[in-house]
Amino acid sequence: MDESGAATRLHRIFGRPGSGPLSGIIVADFSRVLAGPYCTMLLADMGATVIKVESLEGDDTRGWIPPVRDDEATFYLSVNRNKHSIALDLNDAADRAVAHELAARADVLVENFKPGGLDRFFLDYDSVVTRNPEVIYASITGFGTGTGAGLPGYDLLVQAVSGMMSLTGGQNTEPYRAGLAMFDVITGLHAGMGILGALHHKDLTGSGQRVELNLLSSALSGMVNQSAAYVTGGVIPTRMGNEHPSLYPYEPMPTGDGMLIIAAGNNPQFTKLCAALDITEAATDARFNSPQARNAHRGPLREILQRQLARRSAAEWFEFLSELGLPCAPIQDVKGGIELAEKLGLEPVVLAGTGDRRIPTVRHPVKFSQTPVTYDLAPPKLNESSALVRSWLATREAQLVD
């Protein structure tokens, strides 16, 4: 059956519209918590049929409360829309057979067990590929499958050992973690990118492959200029609070009411900023007339800028400076961020699901002109789709043939 036929058949069975760019792709999701589920949710948004395999107790994040919505953890709800849930006890022979059949039918399998954790269930790559030679098998670990295989793979640990926390905080403060599990999220994005690359290769050659990711490698890649400072330049970066190591002004500053980020990355922007703040003389001052000079004289320049910014509120400056095309932003809470996106017409909130179970979620980040994403399924209740998935696996429908 061709791809359009596969998508149509899956739509008939699982109730998705089949319009997304990954329609017809079946994903067996053996991942838990964040990095894997975030990846598979993005794939599901794009039309893939994602079957979330959970333990009988369910994904750990179902119990990570508060906050909650109707007694369900918002953490779980944030990364599991558009999926089907089946609860399996992999120690049970019958449930394990269901897992094997699902792995054999899948185009993509995603897992984030400890290295070797699926071996005893014969769900490791070598076992699955014997039953499904074309499978794309994505494994997410904390520190790889070599000498770091035994290390627990928690985002906070990676924030610590990667050097990220050494960069977060003020010069005289203790190191801080990010306000979110940033390396889980980055690894989830990398996993999605790797899977899409492998799917393209499969389209060209018919061959599947193993796709391996680990949090530490994703962290070092995601730290970009900071990791390059050491790798490429031999410099170990340190905490600078909210300042940028190479640019100034590029930090939050107090205004008459609230804090405002000012970002002037080059001379034309700085000159325009000085004109807007009625300090045109600062643009030609030898202490400030080049990026290097501004970096060397941050203290006096900061005093000048803050004195002028005190004349208006952060909101007023944001409106005024933005109209001039100058990069700036008030520091807001998450509510303010969502409200700004709404004001800008970005429609950040979408309802996932139908009928009585429609849950507000954050919009998929990619907009496709020809193959739009959809939000047909609310994050599933534990084992919600067990009968559907088992029926699908037990019939000729699972083979996607007429």
Which CA distances in Å does 131 have to 1, 31, 105? Answer: 20, 20, 9
Q: Which residue has tokens 């690359």?
A: 197
Which CA distances in Å does 99 have to 23, 31, 91, 121? Answer: 22, 13, 11, 9
Residue 325: CB atoms within 10 Å:
8
Beta pairing class for 108-111 and 136-141: parallel
184 labelled catalytic? yes
How far is it, in rounded angstroms, from Cα 279 to Cα 276?
A: 8
Which CA distances in Å does 45 have to 26, 199, 246, 286, 350? Answer: 13, 16, 38, 53, 12
User: Are the C-beta atoms of 45 and 82 separated by less than 8 Å?
Assistant: yes
User: Are the C-beta atoms of 79 and 41 separated by less than 8 Å?
Assistant: yes
Using alpha carbons only, what angle is made at residue 115 by residues 113 and 120, rounded to the nearest 5 degrees? 80
How far is it, in rounded angstroms, from Cα 376 to Cα 79?
A: 14
Q: How many CA atoms lie within 13 A of 360 on its CB side?
A: 7
Q: Which of 184, 203, 333, 376 is catalytic?
A: 184
- Closest Cα to residue 26, out of 396, 393, 402, 394? 393
Amino acid at position 361, single letter: T
Q: DSSP assignment, residue 73? A: E
Could you tell me which residues come within 8 angstroms of residue 64 by beta carbon, excluding any fewer than 6 positions away? 73, 75, 76
How far is it, in rounded angstroms, from Cα 326 to Cα 305?
A: 14
- Closest Cα to residue 152, out of 37, 54, 33? 33
Using alpha carbons only, what angle is made at residue 230 by residues 228 and 232, rounded to the nearest 5 degrees? 55
How far is it, in rounded angstroms, from Cα 120 to Cα 101?
A: 16
Positions marked active-site? 184
